[in-house]
């Protein structure tokens, strides 16, 4: 954050925690979405064949 005035150690640990949260959060929404998109593409390809 631009106006974060905490100690460097606290900032580093927050950054690590954020990294894990980001992976989990994006995985939580990204995996089902990717699965749906792949299903649609597979069906579209099947239809063309």
Question: Whole-number minimum distance, CB 35 to other proteins, in Å?
Answer: 7
Query: Is 9 near other proteins (CB under 8 A)?
Result: no
DSSP line for the chain:
-TT--S-HHHHHHHHHHHHHHHHHHHHHHHHHHHHHHHHHHHHHHHHH-
Question: Whole-number minimum distance, CB 20 to other proteins, in Å?
Answer: 11
| Residues that contact other proteins, how many (by CB under 8 A) | 32
- With contact defined as beta carbons under 8 Å apart, do 11 and 4 qualify? yes
Task: State the Cα–Cα distance between residues 38 and 48, nearest whole angstrom.
Answer: 15
Query: Is 47 near other proteins (CB under 8 A)?
Result: yes
**Applying CB under 8 A, which residues contact other proteins?**
1-6, 10-11, 14-15, 18, 21-22, 25-26, 28-30, 32-33, 35-37, 39-41, 43-48
């Amino acid at each position: 954050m631009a106006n974060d005035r905490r100690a460097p150690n606290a900032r580093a640990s927050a950054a690590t925690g954020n990294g894990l949260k980001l992976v989990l959060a994006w995985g939580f929404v990204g995996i089902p979405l990717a699965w749906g998109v792949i299903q649609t593409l597979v069906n579209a390809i099947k239809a063309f064949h």
